[in-house]
Each structure stands twice: as structure tokens, then as C-alpha cells.
Amino acid sequence: MAAEMFQHYARWSCPMQAAPPSGTFFRPPEVLEVLSVETVATGFNNLTHKVRVTLAGDGEKIDGPREAAFAVRLTNAKSWPRAKIEAEVAAIVFVGTRCPEVPVPNIRFFNCEECPILRARFMVADWVEGIMAHDVWGSLSTEEACQLQREALGLMASLQEIAQLPGIGILSLAEVLKLSAEQEVPPQALVPLFDFKGGQGAARVFESCRAYYLELTSSSLDFVRRLPGDVAYVESGEVLRRFKAQVEPLFPKVLWLSEHLTTGEECPVAFTHGDLNGRNIIISEKPAEGRRIRCLLDWEWGSSMPAIHEWLLAFDDLPVEDAKGVPPFAEGEVPLRFGRRHAAFERFRDLADLVDKVAPWELNVDGFLKEEMVVDAVSAVEAAVRKYRFLYGFINLARKSYGSVCAE
């Protein structure tokens, strides 16, 4: 099957409508023979193989056949739209051409439709030798962990400085392929987020972080109100009923908070990876090489987002307690683009955290909703109301606009 895919890549891979960027992006290899196929990673929606092949010489730098390895990443065509692959390719090309210090996969070819051979969408890139940071994090020395922390934070900061972006959304692959590294990103280069938490009906290119968070809050709460909808919650059924019964009455308070926490200094927009965790960071396998970051993988969530987005989600899977007391990545840090605007960072961070508690992603997956999430959601709302009711002195305004919901 792997041999067929490589031999027929021209038939099954997406044709490029514009000249490819410099480098080796979109230069499919001429494969003579597939030597081995090894499954190396399995995720919720992706399956990755390491495929070793014999390549033909190029007639220039390399005269004869040689061995090479590629990463073949298959994506379940039933669970994600074609926009997922397009968004990932666009993000990789965008970062690779504008921010060379951030190591990205070198894509050879890809398919946005369901390949009839593999029955999946796929992407093929050069194999990067190394090991996932998650797998060795607990065994790193304090010095190694701190070095890795500094390097990762530096890459995050570099991403945030790539370009001035015209709104919040994902990159259009067709438009990205037209841009040079120096060109300003035009409004048409952004398209609506394909995974917007409130649903595709509410998704659009948002002109500001305030607009994004207000819509995210409102549509996320609407999603909870509609549950279970057409989803058969077998394992989580009873927990879901208790969750809705206790959390829904708090929604007026959440809406009140979203209105006031997004008022004032605006949160800047920046390009983000979106899923920067230890499983997506490939580092040097040999300690003698200094455990340097060799590649950042899985860019399907790469998008133009509020600058705090990356700092809220990054590295949440690293078992910090095993790393000899090294604090979590970004703990206590303020994104560089915020400068000294700690208050703005705190407000948007608290709102994003709150929405995540009252409309957790686990609601989408049967059996993932846990009893403690009910308590966490209620506690988070009440704590946020107490904190910001007195801090901003909005009690009278809240009574006028929402009755007594925030004065209780």
C-alpha cells in the first residue's frame, strides 16, 4: 500500500496552483523501492508511519540511488474536513518561508481528499530524526529542561513576531502560495476557523480579539444548551445531565464576565502553532547534541489567534513533576507582545479559562466528561465573579443590565 502511494503520488496528491516556495516544499521524490513501513505514532485522528525507501539520483548533486526516510501522516477523513490538511500545509509554508528559525516539516506532497488507496487524507514529509520531548522530559536534568524551556519560549516569541495579521482565522493555502516572504498578509489570506468551538455556523474571520471571545463565549454556551443533541451519550449521560443542571443557571454571569473582561485594552493578534505540546516537539535524541529542538510537528491548528492563545495551551502534557522541580513552560511568563500590560493578559486569560471550564471539549466525546468537571465549572464562575465584581466596580452596571445575577 505504501509502495502504491509513492508510485502514484502524482495521481493522488493535490496539484499546486502556483509556483512552490523556495527550498524543497512540494518536490515529490522519485521512489525506486519501498524498503520498510513502521507505525510510529497513533493519535485521536492521525496515524503516522515511518517509510524507508530507495530514491533515484537527481542527476546533479546525487548520481546514484540512495536510501531516505519519510513521515507519512494519515488523517481520518470521516472526522476532519479537508480544511484541516489545507490549514496545516498553509501554516507550515507560511512559517517556513517567513520564520526560518522555527523548524517545520518539509512537505513533499499531500492530499486533501480521501485517497482511494489509503482511505484517508495524507501528508508526506521528510523524516526528522529525534525523539518527542514528552517521552524524555522526566529524565532530563534540570539544566537540560531549562535549556529546552528557553528554546521553546524563544520559538513561541518568534512566531508571534512573524507578521501583522489582519484578523483571527486560518490561512488560505491558495493565498499563502501567492505571497512572498516580505509581502504584507492581505485580508483575503484569512478564512474562518474550521474547528471553531461554537460550531461552523458561528465561525467567521474575526476583526478583533474582543469579537472573537464574545462570539466564542456566546456560541459555546449555546452548544451546551443544545446537548446532548444528536450525540448518544452512553457513558457520560448521567454526568452530562448534572453538568447542564448546575452550569446552565450560571450562564448569565459568564456572559456578564465576557462583556466586561473584553472591554478596555485590546489583546494583540499573533500567529500561533495551536498545539505546542511535548508530543509535537522533536528534540535531539543524543544528549551530547544538547537536546536541541529539531522540529515542531502537527500544524493543523496553526492560525492567527489572540496572542495569549499559545501561552494558555502550550506544553500542557509535559509531566513537570518528574523534571526535578523545573516549573512548567511559560509559568509566570507574560507574552512578549504584551510588554508590561499584565492586566490585559490576565483578563483575556481568565475569560478563556472560564469558557473552557463551562464548555469543555470533553462534552464532544462520549465517556470523557468527568464528575469533577461539574465542580470545576461552578467554582470557576463564582471565583471569576468575585474577583472582577469588586476589581472593576461593575455591580451597579450589572444590576441594570442583567438584574441581580452578579450582585448575589
Backbone φ and ψ for 245, nearest 5 degrees, come out as -60, -35
**Top-ranked range on mean pLDDT: pick from 50-59, 84-93, 156-165, 316-325:** 84-93
Q: Quick check: 407 pLDDT over 60?
A: no
CATH topology for the 2-127 domain: Phosphorylase Kinase; domain 1 (3.30.200)
Burial of 136 (0-12, 13-18, 19+ CB in 10 A): middle
Residues 6+ apart with CB under 8 A from 65: 32, 54, 55, 56, 57
Of the candidates 166, 260, 142, 220, the residue with the CA atom closest to the CA atom of residue 377: 220
pLDDT in tens, 75-134: 876 767 778 888 999 999 999 999 999 999 998 888 777 766 667 788 889 999 999 888
Query: What is the Rg, in whole angstroms, of the alpha carbon atoms belonging to the chain?
Result: 23
Region of poorest pLDDT, from 234-248, 272-286, 331-345:
331-345
pLDDT in tens, 295-321: 999 998 999 998 888 877 777 666 554
Q: What is the mean pLDDT of residues 35-52?
A: 83
> Same CATH topology for 2-127 and 133-168+206-402?
no
**Under 8 Å between Cβ of 293 and 155:** yes
Q: What whole-number distance in Å separates Cα of residue 371 and Cα of residue 236?
A: 9
Question: What's residue 61's pLDDT?
Answer: 56
Question: What's residue 330's pLDDT?
Answer: 45
Q: Quick check: 201 pLDDT over 90?
A: no
CATH topology for the 133-168+206-402 domain: Aminoglycoside 3'-phosphotransferase; Chain: A, domain 2 (3.90.1200)
Question: What's residue 72's pLDDT?
Answer: 86
- Residue ranges per structural domain of the chain: 2-127, 133-168+206-402
User: What's the whole-number average pLDDT of the chain?
Assistant: 77
Question: What's residue 111's pLDDT?
Answer: 79
Question: What's residue 15's pLDDT?
Answer: 43
Share of the chain above pLDDT 90, in %: 20
Question: What's residue 236's pLDDT?
Answer: 63
SS3 75: strand
| pLDDT interval class at 19 (50, 70, 90) | very low
Q: Quick check: 189 pLDDT over 90?
A: yes
Q: What DSSP line would sit under 5-74, residue for residue?
A: HHHTHHHHSPPPSSPPPSSSTT----EEEEEEEEEEEE-SSEEEEEEEEEEPP-SSS--S-EEEEEEEEE
Q: Strand ranges (DSSP E) for 249-388? A: 269-272, 281-283, 293-296, 303-306
Q: What is the mean pLDDT of residues 322-345?
A: 51
Q: Quick check: 285 pLDDT over 80?
A: yes
Question: What's residue 170's pLDDT?
Answer: 94
Question: What's residue 295's pLDDT?
Answer: 95
pLDDT in tens, 212-264: 999 989 988 988 888 776 555 555 677 788 888 889 999 999 998 898 888 87
pLDDT in tens, 355-398: 989 988 777 665 577 778 888 999 999 899 888 876 555 444 44
**Helix (H) and strand (E) counts in the chain:** 13, 12
| pLDDT interval class at 1 (50, 70, 90) | low
200 compared with 208, residue with greater pLDDT: 208
Q: Report how far Cα 295 is from the mean position of its chain's Cα atoms.
A: 15
